[in-house]
Chains A and B, each alone.
Chain A
């Protein structure tokens, strides 16, 4: 097996192996577990770095394993998959550090970290899938590996959330499977190819292809939390903060959005999808999701719940960017995959810090938090302003390209949607910032934990600071080489140029 075909497997194994070993460690072996986790995450980051370099210089990375007659399990690194892989690898490292601090002294940590690693493995698998079957496989694995994380707290509420999550995602997975299979019987192949592989099919199959598209979108839309399939996401926020962070920023919702990108670009092909007339309805659904999610977020008092609805809204940006047929909008959508991840993970880290350190869960109790936790709230502020889309933060770049792309594609209504969403984002984020910074703090906090001179424990503080810094850097230096934006340029060129 050559190095090029082993590398995708190694990337997968770098989290699978620690995950497998951690299950068998006893609770007390904190050091071993931590070392394993961090070593895996760092190794993965290194391998991904090698792969980025290789893909940029045209190296093919592909591993194959025969799975079904005529269908292989294909792991392939192309520019698009690397975008997602890099995001997962970087944020996994951050979340691992955070989770180590967050779960210190709580029960069932081996189980947690085991499933945590498996969850990341599944996400990486989703990213590296070279055909729809492989994608389906890892997509379902992701469902299975996140369930234990959601119910990790073992409370009645958590189990209920887990049940709702499973109901939605398993049904979605079934639809995805039916759609995939149906597609296979029509086309005889499922391999992701630039500009799709369906445009050569007879025109009599068009109505069938539209139906399959709807099936696939329903299957993927569940995880991407498109309305009306978003019901599980706000429930799932009962999970521990690192899990919510990973769920909202990297793993689950992104897997859905990434799948939609894959289906639209590499299965149907964007031009063919546009001729089928399926992109406009998709764009409308995404737009409705954006507005609806923001409106619902406006009326939540629970911080994590508000963030969850904000995710519903923000992830739809990605889909909107894909569904506006045009290269610039595509850049906006794809780059938001990264930008939203970095910003949202920061917000969830901060929400976790506030809950862990002060025992505050509700926004109405957040008065003056900024004075007790200045660094945490600074990170929160940066991420929230980025979400609103203020320059020069990451969210601005995505919104900019989305708006420009919409104008370029002659779909001016999208700009109005974006403006409304910005206003709504401001309406639900700014009051939090206002209360946290400028209102007087209460006499005493609900459940304060003291960490000496620091505002909170280091492992809890460092990850949000790093990701907040990242929010600034990837926004400010958007045009620097190897920034997410430039990488997305690279992807889009290959998708839109023959």
Chain B
């Protein structure tokens, strides 16, 4: 395969789904989801490692496929096929919009795997996250799932901010720093890089919020019982898997050591495992439990890797494969569950603790916002307005006006006018005579009129 073809193919993998996401395009096609997957399938089949530099993209990016990513690509293609298969049943009026969001998601997820640097990955992650939010609300518009979806959105935004900060810290720490395009001569990094722990924590929490790692998992069980099994599959095998993938990829595992954080993360992973086993053993939320369980396992691995780089280095390539396996496993599970037929879940889930908690949280936030608005941000402008009114009122009472009118009337009377003129004349004369002999009082004038004086 020649260079041009491979370049074209590599760009088409994320490009085609994004292009087809235009409603005008995909509404004319019969199976847009499969069509959009086609380049990815070809890329998977063609056995060649390709790397492509894209210096004009973002801050200079690149896409590549090699051994590890091929595995991930394979699992992702598989999952999208399963999802496409599952979604065939759900043809409805909202189908067009759903397809748009799905294609956006697909583009995001495929490019997330192929992209080679962190800013690009971040961009894909964002696309994926928001598109999934769209998928969620379009496919399942029920009132019950909305609070959880909104909570997911809040976590998404938080995660974006944290990851953004983490990205900043990475690039300021890396040598030479990113944003180097400006030319090395103008760079003078006067900055102390923030402590390592801070950076690691940012990255971990950022990805954990997207990956529904305990204790940020409360939205997961509720969303994973949606009436569409495909959504559950996408949530687990695409959204969460790619978040975990990001964590594995971008934490400096095997390079930097932080025993403290390593132990902490292991602890979190352990608790997640325990939680999954204790709280989640129910048929309706079986896939959520599955995700929680395996993500817990992965977290423990990450923790170990952070604590001891040597261990990680010897097993590192298993990370990607493990994630691929989770995803495929989830796909199988979902398919099986779909074939067996899940009982209607709304009634069962209504009593679950997640929903009231989410509802309560929202209500509290709403109350806080109302309070703040009452306390400060509406009264402040109101106060200013009141001040303005006061000033205007000060102006209006006809005191000033009257002064103006009376003054003018005064000047208009002849005897005042004549008296004023004479007074002015006398003042002028007096000033002229009395200040005549004291040139030092008129420093400015003397200075300027030097020549006149000499004459």
Contacts and interface: CB of A to CB of B under 8 A. Distances in A.
Contacts of A389: 164
A410 B190 contact: yes
Contact of B157 (A295, A401, A430): A430
B342 interface: no
A419 interface: yes
B164 A422 contact: yes
Given A408-B172, A408-B177, A419 B161 contact: yes
A389 B126 CA distance: 11
Contact of B165 (A409, A419, A481): A419
Contacts of B189: 408
A492 B182 CA distance: 8
Nearest to B162: A419
Interface in B82-141: 119-120, 122-123, 126, 130, 134, 137-138, 141
B60 interface: yes
B161 A415 contact: no
Contact of B168 (A331, A403, A434): A403
Interface stretch (A80-88, A179-187, A279-287, A472-480): A472-480
A407 interface: yes
Interface stretch (B51-59, B231-239, B240-248, B304-312): B51-59
Interface in A387-412: 388-392, 396-397, 399-401, 403-404, 407-410, 412
Interface string A460-491: 00000000000000011111110100100100
A391 B168 CA distance: 13
Contacts of B378: 299
A410 B141 CA distance: 47
A409 B172 CA distance: 11
B153 interface: yes
A231 to B, nearest CB: 8
Contacts of B58: 391-392, 397, 475-476, 478-479
Contacts of A483: 56
A404 B182 CA distance: 13
B186 A327 contact: yes
A422 B161 contact: yes
A246 B296 CA distance: 52
Interface residues of A, number: 49
A299 B374 CA distance: 10
Given A391-B126, A409-B191, A479 B56 contact: yes
B186 A497 contact: yes
Interface string A417-438: 0010011001000100010011
A496 interface: yes
Interface in A113-155: none
Contact of A423 (B23, B157, B194): B157
A257 interface: no
Contacts of B191: 407-410
A478 B57 CA distance: 6
Contacts of B119: 391, 400
Contact of B181 (A374, A422, A479): A479
Q: Which of B58, B171, B192, B381 has the most CB of A within 10 A?
A: B58
Interface string B151-164: 00100011011001
A328 B373 CA distance: 36
A296 interface: yes
Interface string A167-184: 000000000000000000
A493 interface: yes
Contacts of A391: 58, 119, 122-123, 126
Nearest to B55: A479
A417 to B, nearest CB: 12
B67 interface: no
B138 A385 contact: no
B185 interface: yes
B179 interface: yes
A497 B187 CA distance: 10
A296 B379 CA distance: 11
A150 B60 CA distance: 43
A492 B164 contact: no
A327 B137 CA distance: 43
B182 A489 contact: yes
Interface string B184-210: 011111111110000000000000000
Contact of A390 (B126, B168, B181, B187): B126
A295 B377 contact: yes
A422 B160 contact: yes
A404 B190 CA distance: 12
Contacts of A401: 179
Contacts of B164: 389, 399-400, 403, 419, 422
Given A327-B186, A404-B178, A415-B165, A390 B160 contact: yes
Contacts of A374: 23
Given A391-B122, A438-B138, A299 B377 contact: yes
A479 B153 contact: no
A318 to B, nearest CB: 18
Contacts of A489: 181-183
Contact of B171 (A390, A404, A480, A486): A404
Nearest to A391: B123
A426 B183 CA distance: 34
Given A299-B377, A331-B182, A489-B182, A476 B57 contact: yes
A388 B158 CA distance: 12
A498 to B, nearest CB: 10
A489 B182 CA distance: 6
A289 to B, nearest CB: 14
Given A423-B157, A479-B59, A493 B122 contact: no
Nearest to B101: A437
Q: Which of B158, B161, B182, B369 has the most CB of A within 10 A?
A: B182
Contacts of B141: 438
Given A391-B119, A437-B137, A410 B171 contact: no
Nearest to B365: A427
A295 B137 CA distance: 28
Given A407-B168, A407-B191, A492 B56 contact: no
B169 interface: yes
Nearest to A228: B384
Interface in B374-388: 377-378, 381
Interface in A251-286: none
Interface in B58-84: 58-60
A25 to B, nearest CB: 38
Nearest to B23: A374
B134 A437 contact: yes
A229 B437 CA distance: 51
B182 A385 contact: no
A480 B60 CA distance: 9
B203 to A, nearest CB: 15
Nearest to B183: A493
B178 to A, nearest CB: 7
A401 to B, nearest CB: 7
Contacts of B165: 403, 415, 419
15 contacts: A298-B369, A391-B123, A392-B58, A400-B119, A400-B164, A400-B168, A407-B191, A408-B189, A408-B190, A430-B157, A437-B137, A438-B138, A478-B57, A478-B58, A486-B181
Q: Which 4 A-B pairs have the closest CB atoms?
A: A391-B123, A480-B56, A392-B123, A438-B137
Interface of B: 23, 55-60, 119-120, 122-123, 126, 130, 134, 137-138, 141, 150, 153, 157-158, 160-161, 164-165, 167-169, 171-172, 177-179, 181-183, 185-194, 369, 373, 377-378, 381
Given A391-B58, A396-B123, A408-B172, 12 more contacts: A295-B377, A298-B377, A327-B186, A390-B160, A391-B123, A392-B120, A404-B168, A407-B194, A409-B191, A438-B137, A438-B141, A489-B182
Interface of A: 295-296, 298-299, 327-328, 331, 374, 385, 388-392, 396-397, 399-401, 403-404, 407-410, 412, 415, 419, 422-423, 426, 430, 434, 437-438, 475-481, 483, 486, 489, 492-493, 496-497
